[in-house]
Chain A
Amino acid sequence: MSAWGLTVAEWQAVRLSLQVALTAVVVSLPFGVALGWLLARRPFRGQSLVETLLNLPLVMPPVVTGYVLLLTFGRRGWIGRYLDEWFGLQIAFTWKGVALASAVMAFPLMVQAIRVAFSSADARLAQAARTLGAGRLDAFFTVTLPLARHGIVAGCVLAFARSLGEFGATLMISGSIPGRTRTIPLEIYNLLESPDGAAGAQRLVILSILIAAAALYASRLFERRAGRAAG
């Protein structure tokens, strides 16, 4: 037993979950901002195809998503093979695989929130910035991005929370290796499967609910602020 009545294994799961969720959000954020902006501001040919691919993880069974990721990034996968060969980088059955699965599953939610934020900010404000001497990038970083910041933060919180709950895809690509790839949901499942695990599972369940509630509350707070700034 250690702090807060959690066992070492349980703490490992909590720490891993937070590490994975944070990594997933940080790594996918630049792509999320770019894609959200593109979808909101620059209609392009093939947009509906991109949107379909983007939202696929939302509607596919997570296990299927995980299996596709395994086929792609596994040691013999068509991308994973070269990552291993050239960079010695292994994705499958490591915490990086968990982060990848989380990022892919959470990405549609993040892009959607960011896209709405860009759509609701007046595009002509960036034009006004241009007439005041700001170049394209300057106008983006000093006007467009700050105007969308609340929506972007809300999208991050949403993606973070979604990552914490990832189960099916994670199990497929990275298994459930104690201390390495066993996140909170996997640990809960593991505890429930083992004798005398019920108490530990309960502790993690309560902790999960608290983390989820905190994330949701934070997101609501940012959305309210975004609404005020727009109105």
Chain B
Amino acid sequence: MSRIRVECRHRYADGFDLHAAFESGDGVTALFGPSGSGKTTTLHILAGLLRPTAGRVLLGERVLLDTAAGLFVPPERRRIGLVFQDHLLFPHLSVRANLRYGLVRRPGRRIDLERAVEILELRQVLDRHPHTLSGGERQRAALGRAILRGPELLLLDEPLTALDEPLKERILSYLERVLAEWRIPTLFVSHDQADVRRLAEHVVVLEAGRVVDAGPTAATLDRAVILEMKSPPGPVNLLRVDGVQQVEGHWEGRVRGQRIQLPALAGAPDSAVFVQFLPSDVTLTCDTVAGLSVRNQLTGCVRDVILLPGRAFVAVDVGQLLWAEVTPEALRELGLRVDSLVTCLVKTSAMRILR
């Protein structure tokens, strides 16, 4: 597996200063941060489309860039695939010719075109031109084109942004299939915490041109540094709900044994779904409450309390970690500290279902 190692500085004409220093993980690494934090610039430096002011880039043991030594490997010799946010399929070529563009320029062993077409379900559109494709088809074609180049590292620039929820789910499943089939180390850029949690094993957090944190996904995203970032991204809760079933006309499931009521599910559900909601949608109470319109009460231990100016975040272990946002005053009145027992109330209507 080729890890990428970066240590770069880039100064723009407008004064924006990027300082990217990180190392990717073995599988899928997310480059996470709000827009304008320098994520796309970093990808372009890695792909060789932008020469940074100073720095070094290594892919495995291979040096791709070393400004001090005057070394610069051009993009066509880097073996790094890049899927652009707006796909950039060649408009004058058919989908088939787009897919073959990188394939025929690849030295050595080739990835089977037929296999890629099958996995990405592109057979129906092979002879069409990009401008006749739907957004999802374009995304898949761009992914296929990058993979057929046989890259040692795959870069994805916001692959899931601007997609509506059902389409996003489909693209995610294609992405997961591709990563399972070819096991290409992947670095993907995102500002959506839910996407990062689902796809990445490792995350690098970028803010205002600086790497502010890095590490395994769940641990890193739950650290204070994320909470301190101005939203978006801010913190997001993502809970796995098992044993989903329909009971007396509504849907419900369980989070580590505690019952939770879900919003209406369209179609036959899988046995497990993910629900997403904001920390501000969580109400905390120290007693179990009867006679309440809020149906979801999850009890757990306080694991962490983070005080910020004007707001506070409480991490509660209800079997999975869950963040609640409260005012510092409320925090004081409830007397919450680490190891307190607390109940989290979440309105079903605040939940978003991710399958």
Instruction: Answer whether residue B209 sits at the interface, using C-beta atoms and an 8 A cutoff.
Output: no
Task: Scan A117-138; emit 1 where CB is below 8 A from any B CB, else 0.
Answer: 0000010110111111111101
Instruction: Answer whether residue B88 sits at the interface, using C-beta atoms and an 8 A cutoff.
Output: yes
Chain A's interface size range is 20 to 34
Given A124-B88, A147-B92, check contact A131 B82 (CB 8 Å): yes
Given A127-B49, A129-B101, A130-B48, check contact A135 B88 (CB 8 Å): no
Q: Give chain B nearest CB distance to A231 CB in angstroms.
A: 8
In the complex, what distance in Å separates the CA atom of A136 from the CA atom of B74? 9
Q: Would you call B76 and A133 a contact (CB within 8 A)?
A: yes
In the complex, what distance in Å separates the CA atom of A182 from the CA atom of B145? 56
In the complex, what distance in Å separates the CA atom of A129 from the CA atom of B105? 10
Q: Would you call A131 and B75 a contact (CB within 8 A)?
A: yes
Instruction: Answer whether residue B106 sits at the interface, using C-beta atoms and an 8 A cutoff.
Output: yes
Q: Would you call B88 and A133 a contact (CB within 8 A)?
A: no
List the A side residues contacting B88 at CB < 8 Å: 122, 124-125, 127-128
Interchain pairs with CB closer than 8 A, number? 62
Q: Would you call A128 and B84 a contact (CB within 8 A)?
A: yes
Q: Give chain B nearest CB distance to A201 CB in angstroms.
A: 45
Q: Would you call B80 and A133 a contact (CB within 8 A)?
A: no
List the B side residues contacting A227 at CB < 8 Å: none
List the A side residues contacting B81 at CB < 8 Å: 131-132
In the complex, what distance in Å separates the CA atom of A132 from the CA atom of B49? 12
**Which one of B48, B92, B102 lies within 8 Å of A132 (CB-CB)?**
B102
List the B side residues contacting A230 at CB < 8 Å: 91
Q: Would you call B49 and A125 a contact (CB within 8 A)?
A: no
Q: Give chain B nearest CB distance to A226 CB in angstroms.
A: 11
**Who on chain B is nearest to A139 by CB?**
B76
Instruction: Answer whether residue A143 sits at the interface, using C-beta atoms and an 8 A cutoff.
Output: yes
Q: Give chain A nearest CB distance to B87 CB in angstroms.
A: 9
Task: Scan B144-166; emit 1 where CB is below 8 A from any A CB, else 0.
Answer: 01100100000000000000000
Instruction: Answer whether residue A146 sits at the interface, using C-beta atoms and an 8 A cutoff.
Output: yes
Q: Which of B28-64 contact A (CB under 8 A)?
A: 47-49
Q: Which of B66-101 contact A (CB under 8 A)?
A: 74-76, 78, 80-82, 84, 88, 90-92, 101
List the B side residues contacting A134 at CB < 8 Å: 76, 101, 105
List the A side residues contacting B102 at CB < 8 Å: 132-133
In the complex, what distance in Å separates the CA atom of A136 from the CA atom of B146? 18
List the A side residues contacting B80 at CB < 8 Å: 131
In the complex, what distance in Å separates the CA atom of A127 from the CA atom of B145? 14
List the B side residues contacting A143 at CB < 8 Å: 90, 92
In the complex, what distance in Å separates the CA atom of A143 from the CA atom of B91? 9
**Who on chain A is nearest to B100 by CB?**
A132
In the complex, what distance in Å separates the CA atom of A143 from the CA atom of B88? 11
In the complex, what distance in Å separates the CA atom of A230 from the CA atom of B47? 26
In the complex, what distance in Å separates the CA atom of A142 from the CA atom of B92? 10
**Who on chain B is nearest to A135 by CB?**
B76
Q: Which of A194-231 contact B (CB under 8 A)?
A: 229-231
**Interface-centre pick from B92, B106, B145 (highest chain A CB count, 10 A):** B92
Q: Would you call A124 and B105 a contact (CB within 8 A)?
A: no
**Who on chain A is nearest to B155 by CB?**
A131
Q: Which of A111-165 contact B (CB under 8 A)?
A: 122, 124-125, 127-136, 138, 142-143, 146-147
Q: Give chain A nearest CB distance to B18 CB in angstroms.
A: 19
List the B side residues contacting A147 at CB < 8 Å: 91-92
Q: Would you call B90 and A125 a contact (CB within 8 A)?
A: yes
In the complex, what distance in Å separates the CA atom of A151 from the CA atom of B90? 17
Given A127-B49, A146-B92, A229-B91, check contact A132 B149 (CB 8 Å): yes
Q: Give chain A nearest CB distance to B264 CB in angstroms.
A: 40
**Which one of B49, B92, B131 lies within 8 Å of A131 (CB-CB)?**
B49
List the A side residues contacting B74 at CB < 8 Å: 130, 135-136
Q: Would you call B84 and A132 a contact (CB within 8 A)?
A: no
List the B side residues contacting A132 at CB < 8 Å: 76, 81, 101-102, 105, 145-146, 149
Q: Would you call B92 and A229 a contact (CB within 8 A)?
A: yes
**Interface-centre pick from B78, B102, B106 (highest chain A CB count, 10 A):** B102
User: Which B residues are closer than 8 A to A by beta carbons?
Assistant: 47-49, 74-76, 78, 80-82, 84, 88, 90-92, 101-102, 105-106, 131, 145-146, 149
The 7 closest A-B pairs by CB, nearest first: A133-B105, A132-B102, A130-B75, A128-B88, A131-B82, A146-B92, A133-B76
Given pairs A129-B90, A133-B102, 14 additional interface contacts (CB within 8 A): A127-B49, A127-B75, A127-B88, A130-B48, A130-B49, A130-B74, A130-B75, A131-B81, A132-B101, A133-B106, A134-B101, A135-B74, A147-B92, A229-B91
